[in-house]
Structures are given as C-alpha cells and as structure tokens.
Structure 1
Amino acid sequence: MAEQKKNEAFYFKIEGDGHDRFSRRFWADATSRRAYGFYGDVVVFDTTFNTNRYDLTFAPMLGVNNHGQTIVLACAFLSKETTESFVWMFEEFKKAMPGGEPKTIITDQDAAMARAISIAFPTTFHRLCIWHITSKFSVKLPHSAYKEYWREFQKVIWDTDNKDEFDAKWNIMVTKAGLTDHPWLSSMFDLRESWVPAYARQFFATGMSSSQRAEGSHGFFKQYISRRNSLMDFIIRFERALSHQRQKELVADHVDAFEMAQCILPMPMNKQTATLYTRTMFQNFEQELIQSTACFLEFKTEDASKVVFNVSERKNWETRVAEVVYVKDSDHALCSCKRFEFVGIICKHVLALFRRDHIEYMPDKYILKRWKKTAKSGLVSNANGNEIKDSADPGLLIKRSTMPQLASDVVEDALMSEEGCELLSETLKSLQVKLKLLKDGPSNNEVGGSSSQTQYMKDRKRVRCKGRSKRVTAAKEKAMKRGIRHYRECGHIGHDRRQCPRNLNTP
C-alpha cells in the first residue's frame, strides 16, 4: 500500500508492509522545506533516538540556521535500518526539498547508511562523526598503548592543517606505539578523508565535525516524547516540541531586528560587519578579530600571481604557523587553516593581513548570506515553480514583543500595594498550574481514542532496531530473577529437594 499527498503546506509519504501496517513514513512541513532553501547546505542525520512503544526508528534530518540553532528539516519513521530503507527516505527527501542535494551530510559510522548516501546523494560529501571515531580509541586500542599515546594521537588529529603533515605524523605515531599492523587503526587511516580535519576541513559544514548536534536535539525532544507514546501521541507531542524550537528562532530574529550588536573594537570593519551578521555569528567574527591582534605576519614569497605570508600565533605554549596566500587576479586571500571554507567565518590569520593593510570594510565575498540577518529573504519554490510559504504563525513574533510589556505593566501596578502583590502572586500561581496542564496535554487514552485520523493503518508490532539490543544477563542474575525456591513435596519455601530438612537423614 502506498499513499502520497503533496501540497504547498505539507509533504508526506507512507508505505505499508502489506498487512495494513505501515513500515515507513516520511514528512516535512512548509516551514522545514522553506528552511532547506536557505540552510540546506549541511545536513546532520542520526537514527539513535528511540521515541515510541513500537521501537520504530525515528530518523530526523537536521540543519543549522543563521543563528547557529538546530532546526528540523524533515523526519521519517523506518521499520528497518537497511540500505533500501535509507535510499527510500533520501529519495523522498530530494522530492520534498527545493535546491537539490546538500553539500555535506554528517552521520555516524553505519555501513547501510553510507551505501544509501552514495546512491541517493552522489555529489554530497559524506562526513563521518569524529566524536564516534575518537571515542572508540579507548576500546579498540590495547589499554597500555591508549593510556600512553592517546594525547599524542589527539594532537596529530586536531593540530595538523596539512594532509601530508597528518600522514607523516600518523605513521610516526603508530610506529612509535607499536600499532603498525593494528587492523582498526589501519581501517580508520583508510577512511581519513571522511573524518580527519586536515582532509575534511575544506568542505563547508558550518563548523561541525560531529553529529553531536543531533545528540543535543535528542535531549531536547526527550522533554516532550517518551517510549510509552503511541504514534498519535508522538505526532502531537512532536509538533509541540517543534513549535517551541521555532519560537526560539523567532526570538533570535526579534533580537537581531530590534537590538544592534555592540562593537567592542574601534574598527570600521567591525561596525559594518555587525549590521550584517546575526548576533551569534558576529560574536564568532569578533572573537577572530580579537585574536588576530596576537598574530604576527612574516613575508615569505611573491610572484606574478600571488603573495605568500606566514602568520604565527602562540597557543598553549606552542607557536603555530599558518600560511596565507593572497591571489592577485581574484583579489582573494586563502588560509591553510581552512576556517572560512569549513565554518563560513573569515579566520584570524586573514584578518591579521587585513589589519596590516588597513582594510576598513569587510569585502562582501567573505560574508556568507546564510549567516546574515537577511538569510531568509527571497522566494523559495518547489519543483513545480510554486512558492513555498512559511506555515509558522507570524503572530508569535508580535505576541512575544507585546506580552513582556503587558506583564511589566501588571507587575508595576501590583507593587503599589500589599493587596496588589498578594493578588498577583495568587493569580500567577494559579495560572502557572493551568499552563502546565496545557503544556503536558491530554493523557494517552484521550489522545489515542479521540482521533479518527489514526484509522488509516494499524499500529505496528514491536520490533527490535539495530543498535538497541538488550543487555546480556549473567547466569547468577537469571537465577536471582527466578525468585525464592519452593519445594512442592514438603510445602515449604527457601530450599530445593537437596536441601529439604526431611531428606537430610535419608541415604
């Protein structure tokens, strides 16, 4: 059974298993589809969050907005974590979203997922979560080798900007640790282009090198969703969580629209950039600008096409040197640290060059639109050329700007007398209880029994998903769980046939 419904407000597709039970479902509302048009360059995909009583795999596709906040781009329920299921989901994702494939997708180390990405997103850079890989060093390596050499491995992984430098230092490390023939380390070295910063930093990823943003999103959704939820419960509670997440984005938009970022350094480029970047991204830029004052430039070489500088900085009692290349024809500066390519914020090394040359205004090409306050300006159209309009309530922004003033006026009036303070306190306590009940929503029985929309397909049987196996129980623990022994022939408890007092004297 297959059903698809598509319009400007919502996109979803459901597929069943042939027994009136759905096996997978994909959905994305207009707000998410529109957001992909602005922030669809980087996607984080994770399937480790168990959210319902049927153990269906919840598979959200997450992105990052211009405030650096996590946003939901699309979601799916999958009964199996196979290559075929992932390909189905990614193909539906491409149908729903404007703008084609993402530039980068970040996942954990899952073979089925990797094969599906290579099939559905052939031009997308697949980045492996560096946290999942580095956290396995303590398990995969011999204990003595890990204890002695882990810090040196960390320096090799994180503190090298050059590919050749990383390869040389890695080979020295594995030889020094006596792990030249270690199979897991060898396999990780073969995959280095997918996770090592020296190799992967050249691909834009909004500064993310791991899927921990997805882990943080799981913690947020757990405030609203539990494994006891039925599918209808999940949809209602998920929508409530999504509304709360989008409300935070509206608040950040409001702050950027009505509050000017404060400039600390008396530089014209600083003030000009503050009017373009969102507050969060300006703070990142400002940090780079401050650190650029501690960088020292040294002329290296020059020819007809470019000028090369060494930029040194003192960090953790060590001097690190980056190479900045100024290309004359394109009037563009490139740095070996690849921060601009990776994060989208110009690095301190290039800013040190700008300061030396007394450049007053930041060139527009160094300010990405996705980090600007105006990132969401412009039209987003679907495959048919129709505009995708935001389904979020625009009145939330107005309510958020008017309600604080109303609350402030009420507090000021109440403070005029003791009776007013007591009345306001009692009213607020009563209101707090009512709002909590409204937030928690109806009970499971009320939600599941009152909706006729849940009758399209039956609930799924419980399934065990990959990566969620039960803990192995020891034999002693099994014996304890069986309960107190009971010997039926004598009618007493606490012993078996061999320990029965009636049989102790029997040969």
Structure 2
Amino acid sequence: MDYAAFGDVLVFDITYRTNAYKKPFVILVGVSNHFLTTIFGCALFPDKTMETYTWVLEILMEAMDGTRPISVVTDGDRAMRQAIKKVIPNCRHRLCSWHLEKNASTNAHILEFTTDFAQLMLKKCKIDEFDNAWAAMVKQYKLKNNNWVLDIHLKRDNWAEAYLRGHMFAGMRSTQRVEGMNAYFNIFLNQKVRLYEFVAQYDRALARMRVNEAETESKIENSFPILTMPLRSLEKYAAELFARKIFSLFRHEIRKEVKLFVMERVQLEDHRTYRFGEYKAPTCTWTVEYFPVDIKMKCCCLKFESFGILCCHMIAVMKSKQLMCIPPSCVLQRWTRRGRSKCQQPSLTQICSTLT
C-alpha cells in the first residue's frame, strides 16, 4: 500500500552491518504524504555485486506488481548503477548530494572548492549557466587534470540540480533518510542478533514506526492549523487538502508571493503567459503559462514538476485570476491528507494468504 501511494521515488543505500553474519542490511525507503520516511522493504545482502543488486530490485518489482519508480536516489555505487539501468532503465537516477560533497573533500583536498561544489550542485539555474560556472570553478582551483573532477563532471546529469530540474524527487537529494533509518534500527538490532531473531526485531521496529505514523494521522484529523495568510480562502483550502508538513511548505510559497509583481501579460491563442519580477530584484524573472480551458499552469522554475507543490509564481497567477481553490491539475495525490486513499486496503484473507 505504501509503495502504491509513495513508490514514485525510491531511496536505498548500502552502509549498514548490524547482524552476527556481518552482512549488509539494505533498507528500501520512500517519503510519505507526511514527509516522513516510509519503508518498502529490506534485504540482507551476501555481497555488493551487480548480480545481487539486480536480484533485490527484481524481487522488489515483483512484490510491487511490476510498478516501477519514477526516480531513484543512491550513493553512487557502480554495481548499483548498473543494476538500476538493467532493471528500471527508464527511471531518473540521482546521486546522493551528501556523498558527493564528502567525495569532493576527499579527492580535491580544497575546502573552498568543496563549498563551491556543494553550492553549484544544488543551484537552480539553466544548463548553460551551470556549465559556465563549472568551467570557471575548475579553472579557479586548477583542477582540470583531477581525475575525480573529470569523472564526476561526466555524471553531472545525475547530480546537478540544473540537469535534474523538472524531474520528480519528492524533495529528496540524498540518502540521509536511509541513514536516519539506520540510526533508528540501532535501537532494535545489534551485531549479536541471529538470523531467526533478526526478522522479529525488524518487525518490532516497523510496528513502532506504524504507531508513530498513526499518532501523526490522529493529530491531523483532530486539529486544524491557525490561518495567518492574507489569502485566507486559499490557505484554508490548502489546510484541508494537504498533509500538515506539505501545507506548511505551501504556506511558505504564499509568503514568497507577496514579493512578486507582474511585469508582462501576453494573451496567446489558447493560453496566457505571465512574467513576474521580484521586489528589489527585478533582474530575476519567471514565466508562468496559464491555460484557462482546463485551468492548468506551468512555471519555468519547474517546482511543481520537481517537488509536486505549487510555486509562489503559480500562486500569483491564481491570485490574479481570483481562484479560491487549487485546481485539480495542480494537486499531487501523494501529498494530500488522503495520500493512500487510491490504494485498496488488503483484506485479512489476502494478508493470511501472503503469509502462508
């Protein structure tokens, strides 16, 4: 059920050994509508070869009725990359930003380069702007012959935000959610745990997570956030629609909308374009296309395509058009309070059948 609702983005990392057999423990995770980590499955690996990674991904796809993720985030292991290309070739693969920053420090040994590299990696800009900035940075720190720098540049479409904009990653840039799960499982698992104990302890850890998630659901169902924005009708609609964390992010975009002003409106045959500037930063401009027939919008910042929530520029268009609610075309089911509603609850008979 979790995978059916939130399996569009898959994260996994091999960094954990916590059993008597000294085997890697791999957790396959995603992010729920509450912006919390949700576990799809786990595996104990005999080794870290392409064949093993391929087997795990194939078993995962089989267990999930063949549903493929849109995007995958990993630490960049070569064998893992090869397995992803083989099993889920059409998904977008992103390399973990935390691991890349760490590798930059290890391979370049220049603190300033590591800082600039991290900033450029996450910079939301056009591809040509990124390429120019990269060339200038490499020249500045005299790294044009550094093997790691040359190799990582060839993989830039797997880590640079400029190349990944518009691809859905649900706000995830690193495998740190897996790292967080590793710390959580430390409470239940240790290297003295035998295999027959391991599964029971893993189930205990999952049960605790389910209880915590149920508490979050209960709080949302039995409380309502205080409305503070001038766009009260829109804020109220969003509060009723989205899970609490996503609503908080959406409200932040409403705050940012105040700084925008319309620079130009152009009426075309089937849609209108709006060009916005920002108060005290008029050189920063954004263009939004608005299609009135089906009330669809597309912004050049591609925040909705990348994250799944409206950007402040699209909210500015909604305000201009006096829209009191968010158009269905601008709502991603996975972020709503009923994020799992499209997934049919399994019956007790189905559960028992699976277990046997």
Query: Given the two structures, how large is their TM-score scaled by the length of structure 2?
Result: 0.90
Aligned to 2:182: 218
Residues 22-421 of structure 1: pairs in structure 2 closer than 5 A: 34-98=1-65, 100-141=67-108, 143=109, 146-266=110-230, 267-299=232-264, 303-304=268-269, 306-312=272-278, 321-328=284-291, 331-380=295-344
User: How far apart, in 2, do the equivalents of 1:320 and 1:371 lie?
Assistant: 33
Shift of 1:88: 0.9
Whether the 8 Å contact between 1:106 and 1:127 is mirrored in structure 2 is yes
2:170·2:308 contact (CA, 8 Å) conserved in 1?
yes
- Offset at residue 389 of structure 1 (A): 8.1
Deviation at 1:244, TM superposition (A): 0.5
> Aligned partners of 2:77, 2:283: CA distance in 1, in Å?
35
* Percent of matched pairs sharing the same residue: 28
CA distance in 1: counterparts of 2:350 and 2:37, whole angstroms: 18
1:334: Cα distance to partner?
Answer: 2.1
Alpha-carbon spacing, 1:197–1:58, altered in 2? closer, same or farther (3 Å): same
| Equivalent pair of 2:288/2:313 in contact (CA under 8 Å) | no
Q: Give the whole-Å Cα distance in 2 for the aligned partners of 1:46 and 1:177.
A: 31
- Aligned-pair CA distance for 1:154: 3.7
- Deviations 1:301-356, CA, capped at 9 Å, x for gaps: 66445524133366xxx777242221436643222322211111111222233233
Q: Which amino acid aligns with 2:244?
A: R
Distance in 2, matches of 1:184 and 1:103, equals 28
1:130 partner letter: S
Mapped to 2, the partners of 1:302 and 1:181 lie a distance apart of 51
Partner Cα distance (2:329, 2:66) in 1: 21
SS of the equivalent of 1:324 reads strand
Partners of 1:206 and 1:343 within 8 A in 2: yes
Q: Distance in 2 between matches of 1:388 and 1:93?
A: 22
Relative to structure 1, the CA distance from residue 319 to residue 136 in structure 2 (aligned partners, 3 Å threshold; closer, same or farther) is farther
CA contact (8 A) 1:380 1:388 kept: no
Return closer, same or farther for 1:148/1:37 CA change in 2, 3 Å cut-off.
closer
C-alpha offsets along residues 276-296 of structure 1, whole Å, 9 cap, x if unaligned? Answer: 111111111111111221233
C-alpha change, 1:327 and 1:294, in structure 2 (3 Å) is closer
AA paired with 2:12? Answer: F
Structure 1 stretches lacking a partner, 5+ long: 1-33, 392-507
Equivalents in 2 of 1:390, 1:274: separation in Å?
A: 35
Amino acid aligned to 1:373: R
User: Please, what is the CA RMSD of the aligned residues?
Assistant: 2.4
The 1:387–1:95 alpha-carbon spacing in structure 2 relative to 1, beyond 3 Å, is farther
Return the alpha-carbon distance in structure 1 between the equivalents of residues 92 and 98 of structure 2.
18
User: Structure 1 pair 387/197, CA: closer, same or farther in 2 (3 Å)?
Assistant: farther
- Name the larger-Rg structure: 1
TM-score of the superposed pair, with normalisation by structure 1: 0.64
- Report if aligned partners of 1:47, 1:59 keep a CA contact under 8 Å in 2: yes
Distance 1:85 1:108 in 2: 16
- Name the SS for the 1:139 alignment partner: helix
Assess if the C-alpha contact under 8 Å between 2:10 and 2:72 holds in 1: yes
Aligned partners of 2:84 and 2:57: how far apart in 1?
8
Contact 2:254 2:315 (C-alpha < 8 Å) held by counterparts? yes
